A and B are shown apart, each in its own frame.
Chain A
Amino acid sequence: MDSRPEIARAAAEAAARQSYGKLIAYLASRMRDVAGAEDALADAFAAALERWPQTGVPEKPEAWLLAVARRRRVDAIRRRLTSETGRDHLRLIAEEIEARMADEDLPDERLRLMFACAHPAIEAGVRAPLILQTILGFDAATIASAFLVSPATMGQRLVRAKSRIRETGIPFRVPERAEVGERLDAVLEAIYAAFAEGWADPDGTETRRRNLATEGIWLGRLVASLMPDEPEALGLLALMLFAEARRAARRNAAGDYVPLAEQELALWDGALIDEAETLLRRAATKGVVGRYQLEAAVQSAHTTRRLTGRTDWAAIRHLYDALSVIAASPVVSINRAVAIAEADGAAAGLSALDRLGDDKRLHDYQPYWAARAGLLARLGKTREAAAAYDRAIGLERDPAVRRFLQERRAGLAAEE
């Protein structure tokens, strides 16, 4: 008997992890209200933790949660309305009937939800964060760190965007081809951010983040299969598969971080790399270059080391030049500086980094300080390198990478 609450809790958590986005998408697209769907689902999870320890976990936990969430929503509307108009009453009855039928397999409405979040009537900067929150259940703080914004600001923006979806009547549908452009950008950005967030946790030690890389690839496959003529959708999927292919090589047997240049090629997943190459070639036939195709091409250039034994840094540098024209960002600038250092020497790379110094966002950005430290060390500027390593170590949340940076920093001291 004692383990029952734990079994119930584990079942609720599993449902939350596996089905959160599907449940929210299903509820929100019917209610046309994301915030309302989140509230209703939160109520349903609370009810599950209360009921399941006594009644046992239902056969279909998702269907149970959905039925309760819908019932809560109906109750909430009833309570709040002083008088029901005929039309509203009919809608409520219909909802109840549908709620009883929810035992069927849950239809996947996540693409519709993503495109609602990516609607042009939503402030551009909040579209991808909104997708991450609704599809993956991220809290504002996690999203804020991925987008280099303060948690309070991000929280406010998300709340405002959710009200806008309900108030302005944004539809939950996949747009026609002609109107896809701008909306697809936000959808792809969100998928990539989810993947990157999961990729940042290679050990899978954090339950919350463990499945995100897989989720990102799954969503990427979904979009690529529904929009096979969108080169950037193909490019993004290729990019994620290239990165995923190297997952096993990113840590050695002792769990230590292995930088890309030192990774064991035998650990790279050849099948994934081949699939990525095919996707990238198919994207190229569409004749429209974009950010994700360029980034995938960078990954492709890295993986040619598998065949030639060396990395073509000049090509990578050119790809980053192109990227900084069409999709400039601090991350691109840092990677470009690293490529310049490999192609033209550490001094050239460092001066490229120096030119970024004014960007305040970089002051709390680990890759900037790690790149800086590495280049300073190569130039023999030991004291400055040590200070940069300290900054990088202080900002890194992954212990394996921290250990790696600490070892490099210790190596400096030995040379002094």
Chain B
Amino acid sequence: MRYMLLIYNDEAAMANAPRVSTEQTLAAYGAYTEALKKSGAWLAGDRLRPTQAATSVRMANGKTNVLDGPYADTKEQLAGFYMIEATDIDTAIEWAARCPAASTGTVEVRPIWEMTEYLSEK
């Protein structure tokens, strides 16, 4: 099964972190990504710029409504993601627990809703 690991962090805290700890975080993510790739579980993954760079778009009455800022104002913000291949939720949870974000914020694990399943369930 394919799973998304959605990384949520308090971006203000991350921004204010001292340089040393930023370097450590970077190294931790590097090692983690490497481990994912070596095991064959890695499908995709990237870091997102903080929500100050976010733009939200809505269409209303035929007009495009562009707002600066994220869709939802929450305590922790979406900061990145991995897409992995795992045999089951237990394996996905194991990977999520190893992700550096599990210690600093929250990793939400969501199964990909594959098209074949979507068509047979909807």
Nearest residue, chain A, Cβ from B110:
A168
**In contact, B88 and A80 (Cβ under 8 angstroms):** no
Nearest residue, chain B, Cβ from A84:
B116
Taking A80-B119, A81-B116, A82-B119 as contacts, is the C-beta distance between A168 and B111 under 8 angstroms? yes
Selected from B111, B116, B120, the residue in CB contact (under 8 A) with A167 is: B111
Nearest residue, chain B, Cβ from A32:
B88
- A85 interfacial contact with B, CB 8 Å: yes
Scan A163-174; emit 1 where CB is below 8 A from any B CB, else 0.
000011111000
- B12 interfacial contact with A, CB 8 Å: no
**In contact, A169 and B111 (Cβ under 8 angstroms):** yes
**In contact, A171 and B89 (Cβ under 8 angstroms):** yes
On chain A, the residues within 8 Å of B93 by CB distance are: 121
Selected from B3, B89, B119, B120, the residue in CB contact (under 8 A) with A170 is: B89
On chain B, the residues within 8 Å of A81 by CB distance are: 116, 119-120
**In contact, A171 and B87 (Cβ under 8 angstroms):** yes
- A88 interfacial contact with B, CB 8 Å: yes
Scan B98-115; emit 1 where CB is below 8 A from any A CB, else 0.
000000000001010000
- B90 interfacial contact with A, CB 8 Å: yes
- B1 interfacial contact with A, CB 8 Å: yes
Nearest residue, chain B, Cβ from A170:
B89
Q: Which of B74-110 contact A (CB under 8 A)?
A: 86-90, 92-93, 109
**In contact, B116 and A169 (Cβ under 8 angstroms):** no
**In contact, B119 and A168 (Cβ under 8 angstroms):** no
Give bound CA distance, A26 to B3, whole Å.
26
Nearest residue, chain A, Cβ from B90:
A171
Give bound CA distance, A82 to B115, whole Å.
11
Give bound CA distance, A168 to B96, whole Å.
14
Instruction: For residue B101, give the distance in angstroms from its CB to the closest CB of chain A.
Output: 19
On chain A, the residues within 8 Å of B120 by CB distance are: 77, 80-81
On chain A, the residues within 8 Å of B111 by CB distance are: 167-169
Give bound CA distance, A81 to B3, whole Å.
22
On chain B, the residues within 8 Å of A85 by CB distance are: 116
Give bound CA distance, A119 to B86, whole Å.
17
Nearest residue, chain A, Cβ from B88:
A171
**In contact, A168 and B116 (Cβ under 8 angstroms):** no
Give bound CA distance, A32 to B119, whole Å.
18
Taking each of A77, A82, A121, A168, which has the highest tally of chain B beta carbons within 10 Å of its own beta carbon?
A: A168
Give bound CA distance, A344 to B92, whole Å.
55
On chain B, the residues within 8 Å of A167 by CB distance are: 111
Give bound CA distance, A33 to B87, whole Å.
15
Scan B44-67; emit 1 where CB is below 8 A from any A CB, else 0.
000000000000000000000000
On chain A, the residues within 8 Å of B86 by CB distance are: 169
Instruction: For residue B55, give the distance in angstroms from its CB to the closest CB of chain A.
Output: 31
Give bound CA distance, A145 to B35, whole Å.
49
Instruction: For residue B15, give the distance in angstroms from its CB to the closest CB of chain A.
Output: 33
**In contact, A88 and B116 (Cβ under 8 angstroms):** yes
**In contact, A169 and B119 (Cβ under 8 angstroms):** no
Scan A148-175; emit 1 where CB is below 8 A from any B CB, else 0.
0000000000000000000111110000
Taking each of A77, A88, A169, A171, which has the highest tally of chain B beta carbons within 10 Å of its own beta carbon?
A: A169
Scan A53-91; emit 1 where CB is below 8 A from any B CB, else 0.
000000000000000000000000100111001001000
B contact set with A: CB distance below 8 Å: 1, 3, 86-90, 92-93, 109, 111, 116, 119-120
A contact set with B: CB distance below 8 Å: 32, 77, 80-82, 85, 88, 119, 121, 167-171
The 9 closest A-B pairs by CB, nearest first: A171-B88, A80-B120, A169-B1, A169-B88, A169-B89, A168-B89, A170-B89, A171-B90, A121-B89
List 8 A-B pairs, Cβ < 8 Å. Answer: A77-B120, A80-B120, A88-B116, A168-B111, A169-B1, A169-B111, A170-B89, A171-B90
Given contacts A82-B119, A88-B116, A171-B90, 10 further A-B contacts (CB under 8 A): A32-B88, A81-B116, A85-B116, A119-B89, A121-B89, A121-B93, A168-B89, A168-B109, A169-B86, A169-B89
